């Protein structure tokens, strides 16, 4: 294995060698491009997994295409993060709509942003925790997209660690995942859930290399829960809704904002407006109430820009 990936943190010189730049450029990347870093006793240190994800996020040399098909034509294309309530909402949409069919690609939050940038979807579905550890999605969209999209909230939801019922391994913190005899499953790079887990690992006293099963990646939250339910894993990152569905224990980490990102020039297209309108209907509200771990206080509301006039 490459020497840069043996430790949980990299030094400035190691990052410079990895990126094939000089030390001064590393400092510039921290300030200008959001290279993940923290200062310890006056020295910059770089969480290796967050550096990996930063590299993944900043891939720009792919061919950009334009989606010339409006959602007015009867096909609504969505791509991004997996979510059980969102999947059920798509099914409800098909029951309600006789003019539009929605197609969803489960690509993770970064996959949704990249698809939106390349013009491969009408709506990107994202929940990416920013470096300030407070806001979601805005900085990532600024870096990835040429123009700021419209942000419509789908829900807030509770993220954490799924644990076997009864918590037989006595897992009470992220650090406990590194104990001998504890096996986890994980989510892929580019997903907001993986980003959150890596952040929690980086601020703990453990290394991702110490986690048995860290590199076992599953594409859906429900798949993480099923592995734990089957006894093939003791824990894994996912949302509380899955714990409720499968009767598993849950270690909460934080509430997050789960957004729909839409290009401004497409916002008023028929298919897009049909989907947003559904979020205000009683049928959707009742559906959401059947799941645990969701907060709909912002659901269907425009998070950015502040008003429709700002979309001109």
Q: Under a CB-based contact definition with an 8 Å cutoff, are residues 101 and 74 in contact? A: yes
pLDDT of 1 reads 31
pLDDT of 273 reads 96
- C-alpha distances (whole Å) from 105 to each of 83, 191, 221, 232, 259 are 12, 13, 15, 27, 16
pLDDT of 54 reads 75
Q: What is the mean pLDDT of residues 197-205?
A: 94
If you search the block for the tokens 């770089």, which residue do you land on? 46
For residue 109, the 8-state DSSP code is: H
Q: Under a CB-based contact definition with an 8 Å cutoff, are residues 192 and 256 in contact? A: yes
Q: Is pLDDT at 280 greater than 80 in this prediction?
A: yes
Q: Is pLDDT at 3 greater than 60 in this prediction?
A: no
**Domains detected in the chain:** 3-57 (1.10.1660), 76-312 (3.40.190.290)
More confident residue, 203 or 8: 203
Q: How many CB atoms lie within 10 A of CB 3?
A: 10
Pick from 18-22, 56-60, 112-116, 153-157: least confident: 56-60
State the first-to-last Cα distance of the chain, in angstroms, to the nearest integer: 51
Q: What is the mean pLDDT of residues 5-21?
A: 77
pLDDT of 130 reads 93
More confident residue, 200 or 50: 200
Measured distance CA(176)–CA(21) in Å, rounded: 37
């Amino acid at each position: 294995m490459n020497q840069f990936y043996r430790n949980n943190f990299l030094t400035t010189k190691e990052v410079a060698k990895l990126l094939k730049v000089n030390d001064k450029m590393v400092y510039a990347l921290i300030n200008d491009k959001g290279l993940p870093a923290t200062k310890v006793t006056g020295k910059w240190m770089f969480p290796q997994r967050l550096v990996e994800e930063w590299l993944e996020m900043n891939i720009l040399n792919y061919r950009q295409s334009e989606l010339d098909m409006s959602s007015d034509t009867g096909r609504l294309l969505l791509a991004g993060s997996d979510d059980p309530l969102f999947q059920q909402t798509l099914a409800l949409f098909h029951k309600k709509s006789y003019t539009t069919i929605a197609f969803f690609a489960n690509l993770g939050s970064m996959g949704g942003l990249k698809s939106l940038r390349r013009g491969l979807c009408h709506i990107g579905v994202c929940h990416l925790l920013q470096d300030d550890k407070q806001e979601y999605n805005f900085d990532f969209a600024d870096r990835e997209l040429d123009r700021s999209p419209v942000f419509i909230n789908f829900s807030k939801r509770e993220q954490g660690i799924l644990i076997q019922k009864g918590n037989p391994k006595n897992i009470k913190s992220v650090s406990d995942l590194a104990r001998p005899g504890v096996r986890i499953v994980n989510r892929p790079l580019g997903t907001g859930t993986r980003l959150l887990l890596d952040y929690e690992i980086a601020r703990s006293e453990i290394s991702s290399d110490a986690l048995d099963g860290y590199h076992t990646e599953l594409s859906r939250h429900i798949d993480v829960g099923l592995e734990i339910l089957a006894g093939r894993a003791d824990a894994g990152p996912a949302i509380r809704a899955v714990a409720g569905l499968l009767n598993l224990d849950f270690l909460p980490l934080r509430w997050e904002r789960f957004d729909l990102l839409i290009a401004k020039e497409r916002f008023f297209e028929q298919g897009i407006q049909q989907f947003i309108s559904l979020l205000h209907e009683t049928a959707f509200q009742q559906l959401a109430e059947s799941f645990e771990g969701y907060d709909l206080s912002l659901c269907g509301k425009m998070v950015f820009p502040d008003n429709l006039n700002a979309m001109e």
